[in-house]
């Protein structure tokens, strides 16, 4: 089993000085908070930037799973 996270940093929330690191850290903290609350992440969960844009996915997956689904596909 592996925990996979993908975050696309090619939008405005990541463009300002130091915001790439800060926004990425904010999203990772959000994932950690959700895990602490007991969310299973069995299916790819959508990740959102501070502006509400879909920027990635996170999930527990078997090692043979290669890539998360493309944005816009619900699982």
Predicted confidence (pLDDT) at residue 74 exceeds the cutoff of 60: no
- pTM (2 d.p.): 0.79
Predicted local distance difference test score (pLDDT) of residue 45: 94
Question: pLDDT tens across 8-62, in order?
Answer: 999 999 988 778 999 999 999 999 999 999 999 999 999 999 999 999 999 999 8
Predicted confidence (pLDDT) at residue 73 exceeds the cutoff of 60: no
Which CA distances in Å does 48 have to 34, 54, 65, 68?
A: 13, 5, 23, 15
The pair of structure tokens assigned to 44 is 């790819």
Beta bridge partner(s), residue 6 = 57
Which residue carries 């990541």 as its tokens?
Answer: 14
CA distance 64 to 55: 23
Confidence tier at 75 by pLDDT (50, 70, 90) = very low
């Amino acid at each position: 089993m592996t925990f996979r996270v993908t975050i696309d940093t090619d939008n405005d929330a990541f463009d300002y000085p130091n915001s790439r690191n800060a926004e990425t850290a904010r999203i990772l903290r959000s994932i950690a908070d959700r895990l602490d609350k007991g969310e299973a992440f069995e299916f790819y969960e959508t990740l959102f930037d501070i502006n509400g844009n879909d920027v990635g996915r996170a999930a527990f997956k078997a090692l043979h799973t290669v890539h998360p689904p493309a944005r816009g596909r619900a699982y």
